[in-house]
């Protein structure tokens, strides 16, 4: 990015003007000690809900899935495959099928 050098001077000057002294003020950081909320919400009960609860909630909350659009069986199969192959979700073939069926039943689209 050879364009960076000259414009940077101008950028810095403009940035600094409306906020004088900001860059100079922080010299130490304070240790945070914070709790980040989690969720224990489960998937709506129905065929396959045990499989999806047991297989998916270790890594992400249920709202991750519930906020997704309605998708085709092929698209849901692709999502579950990605969770298994890319993200190493330990899901056996039977559970994977039950999860895809659950997703198609609750959030399916033709």
Partner 1 sequence: MQDHDVQPLHLTRRRMLGGMGIASLALMSSPASAQQTVDLHVPGGPSARIITTSYPQKGRMILQRSSPPWLETPFEVFDKGVFTPNDQHYVSWHWANFPGDIDVDGFRLTVRGQVNQTLSLSLKDILQGLPRFDIAAVNQCAGASRIYADPRVAGAQWANGSMSNAIWTGVRLKGVLDRAGVKPGAIQVRFGGLDEPVIPEAPKFLKSLTIDHARNGEVMIAFAMNGEQLPLLNGFPLRLVVPGWCGVYWIKMLNDIEVLDQPDTNYWTATGYRVPDTPHNTVKPGETGFKMVPVTRNAPRSFITNIRNGDSVPAGTPASARGIAFGGDCGVARVDLSIDGGKGWQPTQLGADQGTYGFRQWQTQFALPARGAHTLMVRCTNTKNEAQPDFRIWNPAGYLYNTIETTHVVAA
> Which residues contact partner 1 by CB under 8 A?
1, 4-5, 7-8, 11-12, 14-16, 18-19, 22-41, 58-61, 63-64, 66-71, 75, 78-79, 86-90, 109
Write down the least CB distance from residue 50 to partner 1, Å: 19
Q: CB-wise, 46 or 66, nearer to partner 1?
A: 66
Write down the least CB distance from residue 70 to partner 1, Å: 6
The position carrying tokens 């860059």 is 23
Write down the least CB distance from residue 72 to partner 1, Å: 9
**Alpha-carbon gap, residue 108 to 110, rounded angstroms:** 7
Tokens of 86: 């890319």
Residue 10's Cβ-count burial label (10 Å; 0-12, 13-18, 19+) is: exposed
User: Which residues share a beta bridge with 71?
Assistant: 108
Q: CB-wise, 34 or 93, nearer to partner 1?
A: 34
Q: CB-wise, 18 or 93, nearer to partner 1?
A: 18
**Alpha-carbon gap, residue 48 to 25, rounded angstroms:** 56
Backbone torsions φ then ψ of 108, nearest 5 degrees: -90, 160
Write down the least CB distance from residue 51 to partner 1, Å: 17
């Amino acid at each position: 990015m050879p364009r960076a050098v000259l414009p940077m001077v101008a950028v810095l000057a403009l940035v600094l003007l409306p906020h004088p002294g900001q860059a100079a003020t922080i010299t130490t950081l304070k240790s945070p000690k914070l709790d980040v909320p989690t969720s224990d919400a489960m998937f709506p009960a129905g065929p396959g809900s045990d499989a999806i609860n047991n297989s998916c909630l270790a890594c992400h909350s249920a709202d991750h899935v519930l906020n997704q659009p309605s998708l085709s069986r092929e698209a849901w199969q692709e999502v579950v495959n990605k969770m298994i192959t890319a993200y190493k979700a330990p899901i056996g073939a039977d559970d994977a099928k039950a999860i895809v069926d659950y997703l198609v039943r609750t959030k399916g689209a033709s």
